[in-house]
Amino acid sequence: MYNFGQHHGRPCGQSFMIEPGENHNNSKRETAFAHSDAESDPEHPRKIIHIDMDAFFASVEQRDNPRLRGKPVAVGGSRERGVVAAASYEARKFGVRSAMPSVIARRKCPELIFTKPRFDVYREVSLQIRAIFAQYTPIIEPLSLDEAYLDVTENLQGLTSATKIAEQIRARIWAETQLTASAGVSYNKFLAKLASDYRKPDGLFVITPEMGPILIEALKVERFHGVGPATAAKMNRLGIFTARDLRGQSLEFLQEHFGKSGSHYYNISRGIDHRPVMANRVRKSVGAENTFPRDLTSLEDMRAELEPLAEKVWRYCDATGVRGRTVTLKVKYADFQIITRSRSLTAPVADKTVLAAITRELLATLHPIPKGVRLLGVSLSSLSCDQAGDDPQMILAF
Ligand code: DCP
Ligand code: MG
C-alpha cells in the first residue's frame, strides 16, 4: 500500500508562520469524512499527502526571467529595512533564508539578486496547483499559497497507492506550471509534512507506519507540531530534548507540566497525530503571536516586539489579497491571564504602517502594565478580499 520511494528526474529548483485559523465552516463535511480519520485502527491507516512547492516565490521569478536561472535570487525588499521572503536554492548555499533581513542576506551573498514579489502571479499558480489536487480528492487543506495537506485515503481516481498519487501530482504540477514541488506521504499530517522536507527540492518521501516511530526518535522537540520556542525551552529544562526523551515520560508527567497539551506531546512523540485534514477551512482572522523566552516588563520592549508581528500579519495579507477592518491586540501576562483590546475601522486597514500604528495605540491603552508579559499577539479580523473576480472562499481558505 505504501511504496517506500524517492523520485527525482526533472531539472530541479516554516510556510507562513501564521497560525492556522481555528474557524472552519464545514463541520458536517468533517463528520462525513470522519471514517478516514481512523488512525487508531492500525488495519486501516489514513493516507495523507503534504505538498510544498520548492523555493516558491523565487522559483516563479526564475521561471519567468531566464536571467535569474541558476543564480542566487532573493524575493523581497533590498532596502535597509527589507526582509527576504524567499531565497532560491542557489542563494541558500550562502546561508540566505526566508525572513532574514536583506542587509544580512547581502552580506552573506554579495552576488544576491533581489526581485520584487509579484503576488498576483503566485496566487495564480496557487489556484493552478489546487485545481490539480482537486482531481484527486475534495479533502484539501491549504496551509499557505504553496502548501497543502490532502487526504487521499478514499480518492476520486480510485488509486490504492498514495505514493502513486503524489508522483502524479508532482508530474502534473511540473507539466502545468514548470515549477517543482516536493511531496511527503504518510499516515498523518505531522509525518507527511516532515516527509515532504526530507528530499527537498523536487523530491518525494514516504513514511510508513512501521518507519514513523523509529524515524522521529532522534528528532528535536522543536520540530514537533505544536511545540514553539517557549515550550521547547521548558522541555529542555526538564531534560527533554528529543522524541526519545519525550517518550520516556509518562502521560501523567506530561499533563502535570504541560496541561491539556500533555497528551498531544505524548502521542506525537510516538508518531501519533489524529488531526483530520480539514477541507474548506475558511479564515475568520489572520494573526501572529509570540511567546517570549523571558517576560517583558518595559513598554519599549513590547513595542519592539509588536512590529514584527504586524509585519508578519501584513505579509500574509499581501500574499493572499485578504484585508481586514478589525485589529486586535492580545496580551498574556506572566500569570497566564489573557486580555484583548480591539479597534474596528469603517474601511479595511490600508497598509502595514496603519496596522502597526493601531497595535501600538492599543498597547498604549493598557499603560501602566501591571505585570510581566509572556505573550503578545496581533490579529486582523472582519476580513474581506480585494480580488474582484476571485472566489473569496478560495482566497480566504489559506
Ligand atoms: N514566505 C514569506 N515569508 C516567510 C516565509 C515564506 O513571504 N517568512 C513566502 C515565500 C515562499 C513561500 O511563502 O516562497 C512559501 O514558503 P515556504 O516556507 O514553503 O518556503 P519556500 O517555498 O520558499 O522554500 P521550500 O523549498 O523550503 O519550501
Ligand atoms: Mg515551499
- Report residues whose beta carbon is within 6 angstroms of any ligand 1 atom: 14-15, 52-57, 85-86, 98-99, 144, 146-147, 200-201, 315
C-alpha distances (whole Å) from 121 to each of 44, 137, 183 are 40, 25, 22
Residue span of the structural domain in which 230 resides: 216-268
Residues 327 and 229 placed together within one structural domain of the fold:
no
Query: What is the distance between the alpha carbons of residues 42 and 241, in angstroms, rounded to a whole number?
Result: 28
Q: Tens of pLDDT along 296-337?
A: 999 999 999 999 999 989 988 887 788 999 999 999 999 989
Of 36-45, 228-237, 275-284, 294-303, which range is least confident?
A: 36-45
The total number of structural domains that make up the chain: 3
The pLDDT of residue 78? 81
Q: What is the mean pLDDT of residues 287-304?
A: 92
Residues 311 and 363 placed together within one structural domain of the fold:
yes
Final residue of a domain: which of 70, 102, 118? 118
The verdict on residue 26 lying in a domain is: no
Residues 293 and 245 placed together within one structural domain of the fold:
no
The pLDDT of residue 315? 87
The verdict on residue 144 lying in a domain is: no
The verdict on residue 44 lying in a domain is: no
Alpha helices in the chain (DSSP H): 27-32, 56-64, 89-92, 102-108, 119-134, 162-177, 189-198, 211-215, 229-237, 243-247, 251-258, 262-268, 299-320, 352-364, 392-396
Ligand 1 centroid, distance to 254 Cα (angstroms): 33
Let me know how long the chain is.
398
Q: Tens of pLDDT along 131-172?
A: 999 999 999 999 889 999 999 999 999 899 999 999 999 999
Ligand nearest to the CA of 58: 1
Domain with residue 358: its CATH number is: 3.30.1490.100
Domain with residue 250: its CATH number is: 1.10.150.20
Residues 354 and 389 placed together within one structural domain of the fold:
yes
Domain with residue 96: its CATH number is: 3.40.1170.60
Confidence (pTM): 0.75
Query: What is the distance between the alpha carbons of residues 319 and 119, in angstroms, rounded to a whole number?
Result: 6
Q: Which amino acid belongs to residue 269?
A: S
If pLDDT is split at 50, 70 and 90, which confidence band does 32 have? very low
Ion ligand 2 — residues with CB < 5 Å: 52-53, 56, 146
Ligand 2 centroid, distance to 18 Cα (angstroms): 15
Q: Is pLDDT at 81 greater than 90 in this prediction?
A: no
* CA nearest ligand 1 atom 13, residue: 15
Q: Is pLDDT at 16 greater than 80 in this prediction?
A: no
